[in-house]
Amino acid sequence: MMFDNWIVEFDRGLRSLTGVTRSARPDPAAAHPDSDATLTPEEKRHAAGLMRVNHVGEVCAQALYQAQKLATRTEKLRVAFSHAAREEEDHLAWTASRLKALDSRPSLLNPLWYTGALAIGFAAGRLGDRVSLGFMAETERQVEHHLAGHLDDLPAGDAASRAVVTQMRTDEMAHAQSATDAGGVDLPFPITQVMRAASKVMTKTAYYL
């Protein structure tokens, strides 16, 4: 059974890295089909950089939830991680679509980001369910803060990207609250600071690469 689970998650990982993902929910950007026509080339490049960062975040989210799902021994948590991963897969598809619409590409370092997140997620999962849930909550809080910054930074005319980021932020806030409600512990301050530092390195690199 465990071997079967690893096969399933390996397949999911390959789809995450190769862009073979589909959203179960409508793409929020679809409500703004003409917004890209108003963007200057510089605005499109900037929006693409921000959406590439968001796409990397979703690649990492897939890896984290996959690893935490495999590490936990609690079926209830496996279901919770699967549900969160399913919504994050929507985000992955939406951000990939926005990159294509902006004539850009995903990060060239996605395999590196994915592998690192997988290792971190599995380590967090092995420390126990409450720590794993706490890690999930803190990760989602930091992502929510980062998305709020993108809403301020995206070009004013990029309504399509704004719609995607707004829905992503709503989902991340819900994931964080769910993890806390399920018993996630507050992580020690040094750990949260390390997470923030690692996130800054990733976001600054992914904007360009």
Q: What's the pLDDT score for residue 99?
A: 96
Q: One-letter amino acid identity for 174?
A: A
Instruction: Let me know: does 95 contact 54? Beta carbons within 8 Å.
Output: yes
Q: What is the DSSP letter of 149?
A: H
**Residue-level pLDDT at 13:** 54
CA distances from 52 to 40, 161, 185 (A): 18, 11, 31
The per-residue pLDDT string of the chain (209 residues; one tens digit each, 9 = 90 and over) reads 444 555 555 555 555 555 667 788 999 999 999 989 999 999 999 999 999 999 999 999 888 888 888 888 888 888 888 888 888 899 999 999 999 999 999 999 999 999 998 898 888 888 999 998 999 999 999 999 999 999 999 999 999 999 999 999 999 999 999 999 989 999 998 889 998 998 899 999 999 99
pLDDT number for residue 143 = 94
Provide the residue type at 176 as one letter.
A
Predicted model pTM: 0.89
Q: How many residues does the chain have?
A: 209
Q: Are 107 and 208 in contact (CB under 8 A)?
A: no
CATH class of 2-12+39-208: mainly alpha
In this prediction, residue 22 carries a pLDDT of: 74
